[in-house]
Amino acid sequence: MSAWEDVDEYLAGTLLGEDEVLEQVLDENQAAGLPEIDVSPLQGALLTVLARAVAARRVLEVGTLGGYSTVHLARGLAPGGRVVTCEREPRHAEVARRNLERAGLADVVDVRVGPALDTLDALVAEGAAPFHLVFLDADKQGNPDYLERALRLVRPGSLIVGDNVVRDGRVADAGSDDPAITGTRRFLAALGEDPRLDATAVQTVGAKGWDGFAIAVVR
Ligand code: SAH
Ligand code: DHB
Ligand code: MG
């Protein structure tokens, strides 16, 4: 095990402890054959902290998978809060719904199945109340469009968080023609240029290798 993983394990053990609900979600995901690309325990805890920090009552997630990050977001909600989470794959959404049900969060989370852009457009069209935290974690080439829609669904003080913005350092390759990298670079450029946002990024190492989060707050 690398020193990064040792430290990740130490920090998770010290700060988070055992969590049967979250362990069961990962077991169910594995049993269903879902890809193991959920956030790490410490990254998930960051989502809970951020939701709590903004006293989020409305959270929007793009990319549900089996709901591991969704449980973390839901746990950070203020009383009466709700998560809307978007997932293209019906099979993933079904596993997530089952996991959320078992976690006692079925009433708190709305899993919307279909391409995320369609769901975001529907939320804009229906005049959805503003979200206080938006977590973008689906296809990375979609992030510029998801950001554009998200900016119509937030209010001052809302956070916009994007996962996987470093990808083992590949984000710094200006010559990459990988759509995930070019999408991430356009997403980061848009965050940096937008006068409505204060933005930063945090590189992460540990259980999920070398990656990072972009975090922006709406002015
Ligand atoms: N947030 C999850 C991991 C999400 S993995 C966690 O940390 O636990 C990315 C998910 O996004 C996959 O389930 C994939 O099916 C979904 N996805 C990919 N493209 C999508 C799209 N265009 N619209 C909605 N979901 C999409
Ligand atoms: C991968 C990891 C992620 O967190 C994600 O959202 C998508 C893909 C990966 O490791 O391939
Ligand atoms: Mg991710």
- Give the pLDDT confidence of 105-127 residue by residue, as tens digits: 999 999 999 999 999 999 999 99
Question: CA torsion angle for 130, 133, 134, 136 (degrees, to 10)?
Answer: 180
Probe ligand 2: pick from 37, 62, 89, 137, max atoms within 8 Å of CB? 37
Domains in the chain, number: 1
For residue 89, the 8-state DSSP code is -
Kindly state if the Cβ of 61 falls inside 6 Å of ligand 2. Answer: no
pTM above 0.95, yes or no: yes
Backbone φ and ψ of 198, nearest 5°: -105, 125
- Residue of 22, 72, 75, 89 to mutate, ligand 1, most atoms within 8 A of C-beta: 89
Q: Which amino acid is at 92?
A: H
Q: How far apart are CA 181 and CA 177, in angstroms?
A: 7
Give the mean pLDDT of the chain. 98
Angle made by CA atoms 66, 103, 83, in degrees to the nearest 5 = 65
Which CATH number fits the domain that encloses residue 183?
A: 3.40.50.150
Where does residue 107 rank: exposed (0-12), middle (13-18), buried (19+ CB within 10 A)? exposed
CA of 135 to the centre of ligand 2 (A): 14
pLDDT digit string (tens) for 144-183? Answer: 999 999 999 999 999 999 999 999 999 999 999 999 999 9
Pocket, ligand 1, Cβ cutoff 6 A: 37-39, 63-65, 68-69, 86-89, 92, 115-116, 137-139, 142
- Residue of 48, 65, 184 to test ligand 1 pocket, by largest number of atoms within 8 Å of CB: 65
| Euclidean distance between CA atoms 45 and 187, whole angstroms | 24
Domain range enclosing 141: 3-218
Given a cut of 80, whether residue 1 has pLDDT beyond it is no
Residue type, 19: D
Question: Is 218:196 a contact under the CB 8 Å cutoff?
Answer: yes
The pair of three-digit structure tokens given for residue 167, joined into one six-digit string: 């990808």
CA distance 68 to 75: 11
Please state, in angstroms and rounded to a whole number, the distance separating the CA atoms of residues 200 and 213. 9
